[in-house]
Structure 1
Amino acid sequence: MAATIPPAHPVIGADEIAAAVRVLSSGLVVQGPEVAAFEDEFSALVAGRHCVAVNSGTSALQLTLLALGLKPGDEVIVPSFSFAATANAVRLAGGTPVFADIEPGSFCLDPDAVAAAITPRTVAVMPVHLYGHPAAMDRLMPLATRHGLAVVEDAAQAHAAALHGTPVGAFGVAGCFSFYPTKNMHALEGGMITTADPEFARQLRLLRNQGMEQRYQNEIVGANMRLTDVAAAIGRVQLAKLGGWTGQRRANAAHFDAHLTGVRLPPVADGARHVYHQYTVRVEGNREAFQAALTDQGVGNAVYYPTPIHRLRPFAQDRGVHLPETDRAAAEVVSLPVYPTLTAAELDRIVEAVQAAVVPA
């Protein structure tokens, strides 16, 4: 039997290794010139916004909420169909996550559900561009403006995604990206915050560096959430390759769209540029049997996310939360390999395995 096709495959090649060695040899390894260069280069991806590099995507979300002045009792509306970091960041910053449902047939926050969840305590909305597909920012932004709410984009999975020509990370007061190894590009680990406001960017820089812009001149209470120059150097190499990788992910997804049957294909909204961090189908029959059959055929697969956040132990205090579309998606989704290093033969193997694995409801 052929080797198993893993569900994800981080790229760490000779260029990344050479960049890391170069920085290690320089002796300038933390918050130095590589970080500054990475921030400048990433800005081109988000319509020229200011960029602030940090040590993880979760830190990006948390620092953004702290910079907004989140206080105990303040509510932030978030999707429950996401990784727990989305809600963790709200709690870590001192606020209360309020869970809203996703759109029917989609995987992103439903603006109508957001509108219904707004209370006098709501201060922000945090849409997640899940799986690489942009949230409905064309509807969420006007809604937030009408109610005076900040919009913080969780773009951890959506590098280079766009809606009607505007890149994700360029809509709200801030956009937050992750550079975890399985993302569309990585820095081994890291994150980036994007914002159009230079004063907000300065506040973020203070917060990530113990409240200092100049050494030992602490202006506010801050934390150590800096990005290393080693990580930034790797991120710069990956960023230069992102355009080609994104094109290949989209081509792989188009191949699946053209050949898969028996499962519901990933939705793509009008005007959306999907970058396919995950190629996620819905299985309306026996999902466990479907996954087992794929595994038997050597095709890796995964469920992101089997338990909605509002059902996880830290967030399950309010038993009255009712999110039917979220629960339905969590019960049906399966993500297939879509990364850019897949070969034509592997793409065909995935198609064949899926077709053989489809189990009638």
Structure 2
Amino acid sequence: MPHGSAVPARLVNTAPSAGPPDGAAPLAIEGGDPVRTTPFPADAAREPVTDQEPVTALEAEFAHFLDVPPWAAVACASPAGARTLALDALALPEHGEVVVPALLAEDIATACLDRGWRVVPAEVDTDAVTLAPRGLAGAVSERSGLAVITHAYGHPASMPELMRLAADHDIPALEDATSALGASSRGQAAGTFGDIALFAFGAGHLIDAPGALLVARDEGRARDLRAARDGAAGPELAGTASVALAQLRDARERLEARRRLAWHLTEQLRGMRAVVRMPHGRHIRHAYDCYVVRLRSLLWSRSVEESVAALRAEGIPCEPAARPSLHRDGRVREPLGEADPRLAEERFPVSIRLPGEMLRIPLPATATTRDMDDVAAALRKLEHAST
């Protein structure tokens, strides 16, 4: 149950669903009947707004959403364009080092490698799957010029501690808040801690338009970002801003709907031995960009890919929640050298294990608690057949 959050009684059954008895029906992938045969809900498309200046309006309303000054938000036509602007503004010398979390940072790592920068993966937190403070501390060196901090699945990273570490080493922080719009840590909104924050919009996120938005802490840097954006912007920016603005205007309602669904599903998964419910740290407000479950590898007989296929056959959309750890990526390892102790396997026990244990399930705001009951029923059915 989320810390400090009450679940409305009408949304939660008084007792979790009972596990299937011995001799339960076979999995759909093995010839049994699926848990559901109707399509899983998806968030409805929004009509673009008709504001005369949609880019200006999006920036102003996004800044208000985050409780930052109006000048801080800079809209961009695409996530790739936003990453380029942010990295240009936080420029490193050639062969400078960028510390990134070993999981969930593939796009920013690729962008840094393409610039000739060296990417240093760092271990992630066991529960939140975000950059661990001890991971950052062990990855920085005198060549470090940037720390990338990524929020995971709507759960904020340990921002106060990570920002203190970055300041101690005199390196700026790029905060990837793509999955955490509406999340907060100790009352401060995700996306307002880093020197620059990136919100990449897209499928599955609270704003699924094709654009992005940058947030800068420094007014001069925000002005430079906007000038660089204007110098490269095409006509598509106004169109993407019109769609994003329409979605931002009802984002709080959809965010609360996602939270209620996540809390309900968390309750319905209570008591499962081999399926770990989505964690919720103290002093944070979760955005639930999706729902992630973990399969206890010591108890589970199927691979994550086999589990995904089985759940999909039951009518539940899902996918693996993480790719393999970046410390094993050849493009990352070669510039650092195989002898670099920061790439040693023993530094990454969590990042090695989690990709083989985690599944992500969408949480569209249009779903109902009955849909979440189907998710729980399918997971219980799969647990019975996999342990």
Instruction: Check whether TM > 0.5.
Output: yes
2:120 counterpart SS class: strand
Letter in 1 for 2:238: D
Q: Alignment partner of 2:127: what SS? A: coil
- 1:93 CA displacement: 4.5
Superposed displacement of residue 102, structure 1: 0.3
- Mapped to 2, the partners of 1:57 and 1:309 lie a distance apart of 21
User: Quick one: structure 1 residues 227 and 126, their matched pair in 2 at CA, closer, same or farther if it must change by over 3 Å?
Assistant: farther
Which residue is equivalent to 1:136? 158
Q: Which residue number in structure 2 is paired with residue 250 of structure 1?
A: 259
* Residue of structure 2 in register with 1:239 after alignment: 248
The C-alpha deviation readout for 1:30-75, integer Å capped at 9, x for no partner, is xxx2111100110012221411111223332331121122221211
| C-alpha spacing 1:161/1:265, structure 2 compared with 1 (3 Å) | same
DSSP-derived class of the 1:182 partner: coil
**CA gap 1:312/1:235 in 2 versus in 1, 3 angstroms:** same
- Which of these residues, 223, 236, 258, is aligned with residue 202 of structure 1? 223
Map of 1:1-361 to 2, 5 A cutoff?
Answer: 2-5=37-40, 9-13=42-46, 16-17=47-48, 19=49, 22=50, 33-49=53-69, 50-187=72-209, 189-210=210-231, 223-224=232-233, 228-260=237-269, 261=272, 262-284=274-296, 285=300, 286=302, 287-312=304-329, 314-317=331-334, 319=338, 320-322=343-345, 323-358=348-383, 359-361=385-387
Report the more deviating stretch, 317-326 or 173-182. 317-326
> What residue ranges of structure 1 are gaps of 5+ in the alignment?
27-32, 211-222
Task: For 1:171 and 1:83, locate their aligned partners in 2 and report how far apart those are by CA, in whole Å.
Answer: 18
The CA deviation at 1:148 is 0.7
The structure with the largest alpha-carbon Rg is 2
Q: Is the 8 A contact 1:70 1:94 kept in 2?
A: no
Q: Residue 290 and residue 56 in structure 1: after superposition, are their counterparts in 2 closer, same or farther (change >3 A)? A: same
Higher relative contact order (Cα pairs below 8 Å, separated by 6+ residues): 2
Q: Which runs of 4+ in 1 moved over 6 A?
A: none
Residue 251 of structure 1 and its aligned partner are, at CA, apart by: 0.6
Q: 1:110 to 1:55 in 2, by over 3 A?
A: same
Mark the CA change 1:10 to 1:312 in structure 2 (over 3 Å): closer, same or farther: farther
- The 3-state SS of whatever aligns with 1:59 is helix
Q: Which amino acid aligns with 2:292?
A: T
Residue 254 of structure 1 aligns to a residue in which SS?
Answer: helix
Q: Tell me the amino acid that sits aligned with residue 191 of structure 1.
A: A
Checking the alignment, whether the CA contact within 8 Å between 2:77 and 2:236 is kept in structure 1 is yes
- When structure 1 is superposed on structure 2, of 292-301 and 302-311 the one drifting more is 302-311
- Return 5+ residue gaps in structure 2 as ranges: 1-35
Aligned to 2:174, what secondary structure does the other structure show?
strand
**Partner SS state of residue 132, structure 1:** coil
- Report the 3-state secondary structure (helix = DSSP H, G, I; strand = E; otherwise coil) of the residue aligned with 1:277: coil
* Paired amino acid for 1:335: R
Say if 2:290 and 2:361, in contact at 8 Å, map to a contact too. Answer: yes
> 1:4 Cα deviation (Å)?
3.6
Letter in 1 for 2:326: I
Q: CA deviation at 1:321?
A: 4.4
Q: State the identity %.
A: 28
Q: Which moved more, 1:313-322 or 1:130-139?
A: 313-322
Partner Cα distance (1:195, 1:357) in 2 = 45
1:307-348 per-residue CA deviation (whole Å, 9 max, x = no partner) reads: 233434533535544322111111110012322111232121
Give the deviation of 1:225 after TM superposition. Answer: 7.5
CA distance in 1, matches of 2:54, 2:371: 36
- The 1:68/1:266 distance shift into structure 2, 3 A limit, reads same
Q: How far apart in 1 are the matches of 2:118 and 2:228? A: 21
Q: Which moved more, 1:230-239 or 1:49-58?
A: 49-58
